[in-house]
């Protein structure tokens, strides 16, 4: 996990941690949609002085190929890696040459293993969405990476364009919290990125409706605003004063609505591991990523 200096005031949920990203893993299948995430990974590595790792995984569907087919795949993979390294160096000339990682197996499992072996602090992925059965889907491997990753995942979703303004530069961050453990773990990332990139920061809490139509308990808006403010470090050095927003409604829709109003370049969310008790939270994360017009950083709860 990233190096942090952390102190928690349990009476106020105040976290005084800073995140230092040292090793960033960019996982790609060399598709156009995946490689759209490269500038974001390169920018983060450059800003934090981190080492960038490039990972490609050959999936089991290729195992049935004859030896000559495997040789062809390896040659093609090396060519793709060379082109990607050149793109990184063109994007960020001062960045240390990325370290190449090759693997074979199930993509999400190999990503998790690469994170463990290389002491990775952050995973960056790009994914192409598709529509079916009336709703949007992420790629299955992206879904599994988000479900199983022990480190934060920076996802460039299917609705992100490629203008220069979206190439990893941050001007506005929206951090949505439900005050749960994953959200508390995400706070240092929202704060550190806002400080590092001198961006505006908005902290958001949404009261969700129950199936019967009433809103979940949790105090009034003023209490929530005070609690949002209390999450921030007292010594934080922000470029602009953070804003605190409390809304009622469908969480993912409200988060996206606020992100659009704030012209957000990044949405930060807490992510929860697979569990029957956090289905709603996972659906929120899924829907935000699939519909967002900016990257989404998901942070799992700390062990």
- Average pLDDT on 273-279 reads 53
Question: Would residue 162 count as lying in a domain?
Answer: no
- Average pLDDT on 175-179 reads 93
Full-prediction pTM beyond 0.75?
yes
Question: Would residue 149 count as lying in a domain?
Answer: yes
- Give the Cα separation of 10 and 50 in Å (integer): 31
User: Are 44 and 8 members of one domain?
Assistant: no
pLDDT tens readout for residues 52-61? 999 999 876 5
Q: What is the pLDDT of residue 273?
A: 64
Question: Would residue 113 count as lying in a domain?
Answer: yes
**Chain Cα centroid distance, residue 80:** 24
Average pLDDT, the chain: 81
Can you give the CATH number for the domain in which 202 is found?
A: 3.40.50.620
User: Are 11 and 26 members of one domain?
Assistant: no
Q: What is the pLDDT of residue 134?
A: 32
Say how many domains are in the chain: 2
Q: What is the pLDDT of residue 109?
A: 92
* Residue 64, domain extent: 20-156
User: Are 30 and 96 members of one domain?
Assistant: yes
Q: In this structure, what DSSP letter does residue 197 have?
A: T
Q: pLDDT exceeding 70 applies to what percent of the chain? A: 76
Question: Would residue 248 count as lying in a domain?
Answer: yes
User: Are 66 and 179 members of one domain?
Assistant: no
Query: Is 122:21 a contact under the CB 8 Å cutoff?
Result: yes
User: Are 291 and 202 members of one domain?
Assistant: yes
At residue 170, does pLDDT exceed 90?
no
Short-list 178, 201, 206, CA closest to 190:
201
- Average pLDDT on 71-85 reads 87
At residue 277, does pLDDT exceed 90?
no
- Give the Cα separation of 89 and 82 in Å (integer): 11
Question: Would residue 82 count as lying in a domain?
Answer: yes
- Give the Cα separation of 271 and 292 in Å (integer): 16
Question: Would residue 161 count as lying in a domain?
Answer: no
Task: Point out the domain boundary residue: 128, 156, 184.
Answer: 156
Q: What is the pLDDT of residue 238?
A: 86
User: Are 115 and 192 members of one domain?
Assistant: no
Question: Would residue 255 count as lying in a domain?
Answer: yes
Query: Is 248:258 a contact under the CB 8 Å cutoff?
Result: no
């Amino acid at each position: 996990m990233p190096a942090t200096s952390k102190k928690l005031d349990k009476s106020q949920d105040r976290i005084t941690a800073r995140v230092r990203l040292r090793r960033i893993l960019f996982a790609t299948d060399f598709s156009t949609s995946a490689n759209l995430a490269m500038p974001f990974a390169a920018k983060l590595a450059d800003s934090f002085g981190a080492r960038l790792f490039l990972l490609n995984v050959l999936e089991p569907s290729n195992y049935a190929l004859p030896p000559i087919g495997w040789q062809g795949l390896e040659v093609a993979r090396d060519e793709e890696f060379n082109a990607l390294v050149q793109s990184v160096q063109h994007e960020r000339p001062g960045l240390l040459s990325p370290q190449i990682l090759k693997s074979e197996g199930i993509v999400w499992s190999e990503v998790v293993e690469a994170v463990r072996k290389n002491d990775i602090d952050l995973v960056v992925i790009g994914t192409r969405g598709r529509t079916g059965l009336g709703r949007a889907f992420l790629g299955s491997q992206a879904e599994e990476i988000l479900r199983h990753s022990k480190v934060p995942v920076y996802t460039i979703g299917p609705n992100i364009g490629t203008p220069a303004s979206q190439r990893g530069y941050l001007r506005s961050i929206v951090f949505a919290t439900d005050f749960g453990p994953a959200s508390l773990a995400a706070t240092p990332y929202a704060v550190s990125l806002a400080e590092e990139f001198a961006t505006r920061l908005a902290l958001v809490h949404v009261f969700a409706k129950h199936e019967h139509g009433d809103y979940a308990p949790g105090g009034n808006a003023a209490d929530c605003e005070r609690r949002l403010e209390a999450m921030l470090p007292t010594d934080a050095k922000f470029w602009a004063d953070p804003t605190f927003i409390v809304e009622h409604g469908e969480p993912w829709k409200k988060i996206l609505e606020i992100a659009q109003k704030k012209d957000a370049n990044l949405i930060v969310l807490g992510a929860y591991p697979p569990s029957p008790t956090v289905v709603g939270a996972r659906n929120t994360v899924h829907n935000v990523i699939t519909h967002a017009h900016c990257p989404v950083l998901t942070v799992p709860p700390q062990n």
